[in-house]
Amino acid sequence: MSAVRRLVVEADGGSRGNPGPAGYGAVVIDAATGETLAEAAEYIGIATNNVAEYRGLIAGLTAAKALFPDAGTTGPDLRVHVRMDSKLVVEQMSGRWKIKHPDMKPLAARAAAILPPSSVTYEWIPRAQNKHADRLANEAMDAGRDGRQWEAAASNAELDAPARTPLPDRGPPGDAAAGAAKARAALAAARGGTEAGTLFEVPTAEEPAPPAAEPVAPEPTTSEPTAPGSTAPEPTDVSAIAGAEAAAASASGSATTPAPQVGWAAAPDLGTPATFILLRHGETALTPEKRFSGSGGTDPELSATGRDQAARAAAHFAALGTVQEIVSSPLRRCRETAAAVADRLGLEVRIDEGLRETDFGAWEGLTFGEVRERYGDDLTAWLADPDTAPTGGGESFTEVATRVAAARDRLTARYAGRTVLLVTHVTPIKTLVRLALGAPAQAMFRMELSAASISTVAYYGDGNASVRLLNDTSHLR
């Protein structure tokens, strides 16, 4: 019986803009000792998070194969366990989710063709456990921003890696360490280097990048929403598409230098934006009756319809794979909506008081008509003046804007360069959009926001913002 060499591959990818400047990182680890055997990272130009994550997987598997090129023939059998914080990649490569996006199919095929599918297993891990690969990806993106190549010798990524322990039943640690050292030495010699670094980059020729002149389209506008009633995308056999598509993808050529950009693309690099995906909570019993439901009255739960909407939003974000953090209003309807998404993505929900709905004072629970009937003069003044508060000590739009702007500034500083899902309410979402547009308070009355709708705003380092989406409900159909 031939010996078995067991490796762990941890991989990650990121995009500063989604799509935007992107890079990947991957690390190969000896399963018996927890020792880092190889690192790979590369800036890949303009791409989405999902493309970058798949490229990281391809790099990691390629590096693992390079360590033991004779595996399965004259050498030991190779078993690779892949660990990633991208649920999309893990579920698709495991064959449990269908690969719908046309840009993902050739990448999945390339990954599946590197090693026999039976020798590779996949596991989703929280982002906190994937710090090594995440740091590599960010180093690669920093290098691309500065117009240079990522260099293994200058990497500090392993310093951020969590402590590793050998995985059980992986054979004698001493033999494994000796075998790993021999493999590194052989690889270094073949590349004209030395064993001393023990870190290397995957050859670019083995890792062709998508042409820089053809950036991948944003995931939110091209993904296919999960069918009503389903809990996960349909399964598919990744290995079945590893033939012709893999060959076509491999023939696409090596990574190229991005073409000179013109127009807006030629503007100075303002840094990575913080991208806020704004999800209004699902319906409550008050929503279809169009009653004022703020933070000063009851705290209603989601209705059956609202829970279904939350589940569909969760399936939508799971298919996209772009959400990195989740922050919610403290009110129950938002926390329940956020929890549905968080459970699906394996993320934690943080609460920010600044995202709560307006306090509508005495108007809480009333319809617009009932408020006009009972508090007509106050309603007229409220509609005309953002400094006027609802009857009975509620909040004015000016007060809400001050609170929401403070939350915005706090969250953009905390999550610079990341894509964050904010689960909140009508007024905070409209306020963020109108502030991003530089529009007056009265503009809020001209926006429609459906229950469980999605809007998106990106915030840049110079203080400017870009509204990218408003009131999208395609995921609910």
Residue 60's pLDDT is what?
Answer: 95
Q: What is the mean pLDDT of residues 370-389?
A: 93
Apex 132 CA angle, 166 and 72, nearest 5: 55
Q: For residue 125, what pLDDT band results from cuts at 50, 70 and 90?
A: very high
428-442, pLDDT tens digit by residue? 999 999 999 999 988
Residue-wise DSSP of 16-75: SSSSEEEEEEEEEEETTT--EEEEEEEEEEEE-HHHHHHHHHHHHHHHHHHHSTTTTTTS
335 is in an annotated binding site: no
Give the residue from 153, 184, 214 where a domain finishes: 153
233-277, pLDDT tens digit by residue? 334 444 443 443 433 333 333 333 344 443 344 444 556 789 999
41 lies in which domain range? 5-153
Q: For residue 353, what pLDDT band results from cuts at 50, 70 and 90?
A: very high
State how many domains the chain has: 2
Q: What is the mean pLDDT of residues 138-147?
A: 89
CA 61 to CA 40: how far, in whole Å? 10
Within a domain: residue 221? Answer: no
Task: Verify that 460 and 318 share a domain, yes or no.
Answer: yes
**Are 238 and 93 spatial neighbours (Cβ–Cβ below 8 Å)?**
yes
Within a domain: residue 306? Answer: yes
379 residue type, one letter: L
Catalytic residues: 281, 357
Apex 435 CA angle, 432 and 436, nearest 5: 85
Q: Residue 281's closest CA among 205, 343, 332?
A: 332
Within a domain: residue 48? Answer: yes
281-329, pLDDT tens digit by residue? 999 999 999 999 998 777 899 999 999 999 999 999 998 888 999 999 9
Q: What is the mean pLDDT of residues 384-392?
A: 92
Please say if the pLDDT value at position 5 is more than 70. yes
**Are 162 and 1 spatial neighbours (Cβ–Cβ below 8 Å)?**
no
Q: What is the mean pLDDT of residues 149-172?
A: 69
CA 114 to CA 110: how far, in whole Å? 7
Give the residue from 153, 177, 192 where a domain finishes: 153
CA 468 to CA 463: how far, in whole Å? 16
Map tokens 């990649």 to a residue.
89
CA 158 to CA 139: how far, in whole Å? 12
Q: For residue 220, what pLDDT band results from cuts at 50, 70 and 90?
A: very low
CA 83 to CA 284: how far, in whole Å? 39
Q: For residue 72, what pLDDT band results from cuts at 50, 70 and 90?
A: low
Residue 369 sits in a domain whose CATH number is 3.40.50.1240
CA 95 to CA 91: how far, in whole Å? 6
Within a domain: residue 436? Answer: yes
**Are 256 and 215 spatial neighbours (Cβ–Cβ below 8 Å)?**
no
Q: For residue 163, what pLDDT band results from cuts at 50, 70 and 90?
A: low
Residue 422's pLDDT is what?
Answer: 98
Residue 82's pLDDT is what?
Answer: 96
36-69, pLDDT tens digit by residue? 999 999 999 888 889 999 999 999 999 999 998 8
Residue 111 sits in a domain whose CATH number is 3.30.420.10
171-185, pLDDT tens digit by residue? 433 444 444 444 444
Residue 74's pLDDT is what?
Answer: 67
Q: What would the two tokens of residue 54 be?
A: 């798949």
Within a domain: residue 52? Answer: yes
Within a domain: residue 255? Answer: no
Within a domain: residue 325? Answer: yes
Give the residue from 116, 136, 153 where a domain finishes: 153
The model's pTM is: 0.49
Within a domain: residue 267? Answer: no
Residue 320's pLDDT is what?
Answer: 83
444-475, pLDDT tens digit by residue? 999 999 999 999 999 987 778 999 999 999 99
Q: Give the chain's mean pLDDT.
A: 79
Please say if the pLDDT value at position 208 is more than 80. no
